[in-house]
Amino acid sequence: MINGRVTEDLKAKINIAISAGGGVWNSLDAVIDTGFNGQLALPEETVQALDLALDRFRRVTPAVGGTRVVASGHVQLRWEDVSIRARVIQAGTEPLIGMALLWNHRITIDAVADGAVNITPLGG
């Protein structure tokens, strides 16, 4: 199970650990975004600070409309105590966890300040 909290500004967040390789892990708070169908989105400042090598480009359609081309690549992500390969795109103003990563999980959110956020695998 992955646990997080609801912030006072009404965001359900979890803490994640990511690595671009070399055994260095970085901890980030990420917002659960059920409107994002990708795995992980990171702002440009975070991509630069973590020195991530995003070597591909993808077309995306943000919620505000239109189509953009953004940098993308892969990182290692600790998910349920296991290191997995996750696709990351460079977009937005804060780290986001999307539905592709949450697939086959139950998400429960106590929608109050400092409420519990729990992500549980469904199994199978």
pLDDT tens column, 40-88:
999 999 999 888 888 888 777 666 677 888 889 999 999 998 999 999 9
Q: Which of 27, 26, 31 is nearest to 13 (CA)?
A: 31
Retrieve residue 92's tokens: 């937005």
The reported pTM is: 0.90
The mean pLDDT value for 32-38 works out to 93
Domains of the chain: 12-105 (2.40.70.10)
The mean pLDDT value for 81-100 works out to 94
